[in-house]
Structure 1
């Protein structure tokens, strides 16, 4: 009993539910508050970091755009382009080349001296020759390794657009002592292609670090510049340059800027650059920003502990004032189950639901005691009545059995008559079904005949239309023969004209030869006339070749026209045969249409006769059905009376059995009431 009170009582269940609900609610609210505060802190930090990173990207883009502007100025510098033409022209003297080379180096040195962030500026020839390439002071010479050739091809393919190369530890040419970021642009010269050069500007990698040194992300964060392939362009740790970045940046098809978080609990803010195809990535551990938010964890734990204490107190109160009275009520109900109807509750004066329950229990027990006394008296009366009812039921059952036997014999005779009427009705219905099928077959044949008649009419109209079209084709064929003959005559006329033009060309050639001879005799005074004579001779030769070409084409046209005439003459008899065949087919279609008209009239007469026969069969079926229905109604009434008599017999037998059971129940009721103490 004590175990059930502790673990299965309503008070303990209420205590556990209340305690668990308070504990879960407090824990969930604390966890939600902690999560929301952490997310708010991270969101604000990411927005601030994104703003800083955007400013840093703008500074770097501004610096890179300045160098792109310098490269554009050098690309359109007229004096520089002229000097490049001079040093590239092998016909220019060494003195002029030396002066031009000095001016080129002076321009490159001036660009480097004006900006301390530049490591060097160089003009590289497309063949990577050291003698024809120029660089500013402090820049190393030109190399021709495969890596350098690949970079040069990349710049050339850009066709004058700026190309940025990530940081190289040994510079663009691979022979420098300091790391640099390089920019390349092709300086094309369409008028003098040999003067085409590649401009390379090397920017100190340290200059990027100086620009980004004043930006701090968290306590241990950093800023890194990364290419689209994940190669590090800039990092505070110089040893990481040119290596693959370990940051998990978004792919190219995802967002290129914004904040996200890695599996290592790092916040990464990405800002895409507008000048170079790189991104600035600022990253720091999230713990650097969540130290203040983690203090809420201890506050949440303290609140949960206080909630546990309060839940324990409230649970004990609920067990004391709810669980104990309900347990007492259960004990009293068990005593009442054992037959003690004198039990009463001791808390009917409480002004709550428990008090009302105790008061109702007391009233219920009083009413049950009164009912038990009344039941004892009623049981004696029921027992006497049951004995009388049993005697009457036996007499009624015997009479109902005799009536049921007589009605069953009458029902059997009516059922036999009804079966014969149903067989005759089924036979008449079968005849009607077969007649309906014949009618449907005639209807299908009539529809088929109608369709055949329609198809024959359409075929006749199509054949008539085909005859007309065949006659038109025959006429067109004759017209084509006539026009081909005319075209043949025209081609002969053209051939004659070409022969005349060929003769004129020959005379013109002879005339030009005579003019050339006369000009040679005239000496220097006839040189101009000799040039004119040569032009006339060339024109005559060209005319002669054109005339031969046109003559060939004219002969081909004559042959094609002749072939066309022969083909049309061969096809004319075929068209005549086709016209005769189409006429015969049209006559056959007309005969088919007449025969189908006669067949359709015969089908309509047959259908009318079958319909009259079907009407007579339906009248016969109706008469048989009426007679069958009368027999069925009589049989049904007889069966119904027999069924009612049989049911009356069964009810009487059941009534006898129930009377016996009533006697037994009366005895058992008297014995059961003896157990109750009132």
Structure 2
């Protein structure tokens, strides 16, 4: 009995009020404190993100300015006419050794002067496309070239840029993996369209320390880090050189680069929340990213958690005191009233309350006393009524049985009529659907005829265009034949010109031989003259050299003239071979034009047949519509008949069901009357 009372006490209204009030105050206090904490944390994070975003933007601008300086330097090299001339001189096989050496010296001095004027440079190179060290130039202090697969791949990127600057990530040992310190490299192809052999790769290697100096004033949080990433998320620059070339655990997605707010939070490889700010560089296709643990900025907001805990404890104590007061004020009277109700439930209608308060609980006690008095009076009257109901229910059972029998017979007959009407309606509906299907098919045929008519019109239009094009082609082919005849005439004139050039060269060769003989005789006479003829020896040698050069030029002109004559003969031969082909082409074009005319006539006859078919289909559609209207009328009449029959059948079925229910209710009423009579015996009035 004690366990039952404690269970009822726990389920009491007073305990529920206590629990509701206690939980409400504690939850509201907790929600208010936690909301304040997270709001303050979010505000701090947003403010720090805004300030850090400005810092990262300024640092990115500095890097862009630094990179722009070296891009401008590379452009100066690309447009430097003196450097271009020196490179062409070095690659000119006909130039003398002295000129080549002087040009190479000027190139090296220019590279050394640029490197010496900028302490941030680790080295500057002009590398030949063949990567041959003897054909490449470098500033003082740099290392020899290497040509492994990775370096060749980087050189290919420079070629693919077609003269635009290409920035390569910071590498721990430089572009050629040969330095003792990291460096950032910018590559550019110095193009030379007139002399492709004089094209060089220009490599400007910048110390990694230069980037560190630019970013030295940028700090994000207490333990933040600055990185530069390429579009694939690979680390281009970082404080730890061991991470260069690895995939960053925190990346910036392309979608985030389009947003105006350049900050977000993301977990690192250890799962700690990081505040990330970023900015894209304008020169290189890289992204500068800085991140720091969110706890570095929000640790001051943790004090709100302790304050929230104290407030929740105080609110819990106050809620407990108020809840206990409510249990005493409301729970105890309701418990007594519940006990009296349980006594009334057992049949004791003589229980009464003795509440003296004037509040709702006191009014509830007075109402309980009146209710018990009325229930006692009602129980006495119900006993007398139960005897009368029992007698009436016996008569109702007999009448309900007779009604149910007649209703069953009517329902069976009506069901048979409804079944026949339903079958007739289904047949009418099926015929109507067949008529509609026939109409749809006829419409499809009409649409197909319309499309065929339009297509035939398009074919006629295309045939007209083809005929016009064939006429134009005949005219152009005849013009081509005239031009080929003109080419043959010009070739004959050129052949005559080459013969004239040969006739002019013949006496020039004889004059050159005579000049050479005269120079030789002058040399002999000068030797005979001894000391007095030394000056004539020099003059004779110069004349002989001029004669040799003239002879070479004349032979070159003669060879070119022979080649021109051979090309003219080949051209005339090809033109003569092509002339019959042009005549055959003109004949084929004229035959094609006549075929187009025949196609046009056939399509016009086809359009006439399509028109006759469309008229026949229109008549069939008219007859189909009349048949459809007749079938629709028949179907409507059948449906109305079927609906009326089904309604009668439904009403008959419902009448039968109601009769059956009436019989059941009569029997139930008889049972209830007996039960009521027995239950009233248990009341103590």
CA distance in 1, matches of 2:378, 2:589: 130
Alignment match of 1:286 (pick from 286, 294, 299): 294
Does the 8 A contact of 2:233 with 2:252 survive in 1?
Answer: no
- Which residues of 2 match residues 445-464 of structure 1 at below 5 A? none
Match of 2:580 in 1: 552
Is 1:299 matched up with 2:292?
Answer: no
Contact 1:185 1:199 (8 Å CA) reproduced = yes
> Kindly tell me: are residues 203 and 665 of structure 1, through their superposed partners in 2, closer, same or farther at Cα, counting changes over 3 Å?
closer
Change (3 A) 1:364 1:120: same
Kept in 1, the 8 Å contact 2:56–2:288? The answer is yes
1:269 corresponds to 2:274: no
Q: How does 1:174-185 map onto structure 2 within 5 Å?
A: 174-185=177-188
Give, in whole Å, the separation in 2 of the partners of 1:267 and 1:157: 37
Structure 1 residue 247 and structure 2 residue 252: aligned?
Answer: no
1:638 aligns to what? none
Give 2:13's match in structure 1, choosing from 10, 15, 18: 10
Matches within 5 A, 1:42-61: 42-61=45-64
CA distance 1:281–1:367, shift in 2 (3 Å)? same
1:172-204 per-residue CA deviation (whole Å, 9 max, x = no partner) reads 222222211000111111122222111111111
- How far off is 1:320 after superposition? 0.9
1:44 CA displacement: 2.0
**Distance in 2 of aligned mates of 1:63 and 1:76:** 21
Counterpart for residue 147 of structure 2? 144
Contact 2:276 2:290 in 1 (8 A): yes
Contact 2:347–2:682 at 8 Å: present in 1 too?
A: no
In 2, the alpha carbon distance for the partners of 1:287 and 1:24 equals 26
Which deviates more from structure 2 when the two are superposed, residues 47-56 or residues 542-551?
542-551
Q: For residue 665 of structure 1, report the CA deviation from its aligned partner.
A: 8.9
How many residue pairs get aligned? The number is 527
Q: Report Cα offsets for 1:49-104 as digits up to 9, x if no partner.
A: 22211111111111011111111111111122122222222222233223222222
Deviation at 1:105, TM superposition (A): 2.1
Cα distance in 2 for partners of 1:326, 1:188 equals 100
Matched-pair contact (CA < 8 Å) for 2:257–2:280 = no
2-structure distance, mates of 1:559, 1:163 = 60
2:227 is paired with a residue of what secondary structure?
strand
Q: CA RMSD in A?
A: 5.9
1:539/1:252 CA distance change after superposition, 3 Å? closer
Aligned runs of 1:219-368 on 2, under 5 Å? 219-238=222-241, 240-252=242-254, 255=257, 257-262=262-267, 263-350=271-358, 352-368=359-375
Distance in 2 between residues matched to 1:65 and 1:516, nearest whole Å: 59
Contact 1:64 1:275 in 2 (8 A): yes
Deviations 1:473-510 (A, max 9, x none): xxxxxxxxxx9xxx9xxx9xx99xx9xx99x9999999
Indicate how the Cα distance of structure 1 residues 666 and 135 shifts in structure 2: closer, same or farther if over 3 A, else same: closer
Residues 599-678 of structure 1 correspond to what in structure 2 (within 5 A)?
A: 675-676=684-685
What CA distance in whole angstroms lies between the structure 2 residues aligned with 1:308 and 1:29?
A: 14
Contact 1:112 1:136 in 2 (8 A): yes
Matched, 1:71 2:74: yes
d(CA) in 2 for partners of 1:559 and 1:278? Answer: 65
Name the SS for the 2:357 alignment partner. Answer: coil
- Taking the TM superposition and a 5 Å limit, the aligned residue runs for 1:160-179 are 160-179=163-182
In 1: Cα distance, 2:574 partner to 2:322 partner = 119
Secondary structure, aligned partner of 2:217: coil
Q: Highest Rg: 1 or 2?
A: 1
SS at match of 1:303: helix
Cα displacement (A) at 1:209: 0.8
- C-alpha distance in structure 2 between counterparts of 1:543 and 1:22, whole Å: 106
Tell me: CA distance 1:561–1:320, structure 2 relative to 1, closer, same or farther (3 Å). Answer: closer
Moved more, 551-560 or 225-234: 551-560
**Partner of residue 463, structure 2:** none
Listed one character per residue, the Cα deviations across residues 345-387 of structure 1 (whole Å, up to 9, x for unaligned) are 222432x321221121123234445556x749x94x997x899
Structure 1 residue 297 displacement after superposition: 1.1
Contact 1:169 1:241 in 2 (8 A): no
Q: 2-side partners of 1:509 and 1:222: how far apart?
A: 78
Measure the CA separation in 1 of the matches of 2:10 and 2:177.
82
Residue number in structure 2 paired with 1:199? 202
| Change in CA separation of 1:24 and 1:191 when aligned onto 2, cut-off 3 Å | same
1:24 to 18, 22, 27: 27
Structure 1 unaligned blocks of 5 or more: 463-468, 470-482, 573-577, 594-642
In the alignment, is the contact (CA less than 8 A) between 2:234 and 2:248 conserved in 1? no
SS in 1 for 2:133: coil
Offset at residue 251 of structure 1 (A) = 4.1
Q: Distance in 2 between matches of 1:561 and 1:207?
A: 74
The alpha carbon displacement at 1:287 in A equals 1.6
Q: Structure 1 CA distance, aligned partners of 2:580 and 2:95?
A: 56
Contact kept in structure 1, 2:495 and 2:568, CA below 8 Å: no
Asked if 2 retains the 8 angstrom alpha-carbon contact of 1:167 and 1:241, the reply is: no
Match of 1:156 in 2: 159
Contact 2:238 2:244 in 1 (8 A): no
Q: Distance in 2 between matches of 1:34 and 1:547?
A: 93
Contact 2:171 2:182 in 1 (8 A): yes
How far, CA to CA, are the matches of 2:96 and 2:678 in structure 1?
A: 145
Aligned equivalents of 2:62, 2:105: Cα separation in 1? 34
In the alignment, is the contact (CA less than 8 A) between 1:508 and 1:540 conserved in 2?
no
Query: In structure 1, how many angstroms separate the alpha carbons of the residues matched to 2:579 and 2:681?
Result: 142
Deviation string 1:400-454 (CA, Å, 9 cap, x unpaired) is: 9xxx9xxx9xxx9xx9xxx9xx99xxx9x9xxx9xx99xx9xxx9xx99xx9xxx
CA distance in 2, matches of 1:513, 1:297: 104
Alpha-carbon distance between aligned partners in 2 of 1:33 and 1:121, rounded to the nearest angstrom: 58
| SS in structure 2 of the partner of residue 138 of structure 1 | coil
Q: 2:366 aligns to what SS in structure 1?
A: helix
Report the equivalent of 2:652. none
Shift of 1:325: 0.8
C-alpha spacing 1:175/1:514, structure 2 compared with 1 (3 Å): closer
TM-score where L is the length of structure 2: 0.62
Could you list the runs of 5+ residues in structure 2 that have no partner in the other structure?
454-459, 461-470, 512-553, 617-655
Q: Secondary structure at the match of 1:219?
A: coil
Indicate the SS of the match to 2:188.
strand
How much does 1:18 deviate?
2.4
Aligned with residue 193 of structure 2, among 184, 190, 209 = 190
Q: Report the secondary structure of 1:131's partner residue.
A: helix
Write out aligned runs for 1:75-94 (5 A).
75-94=78-97
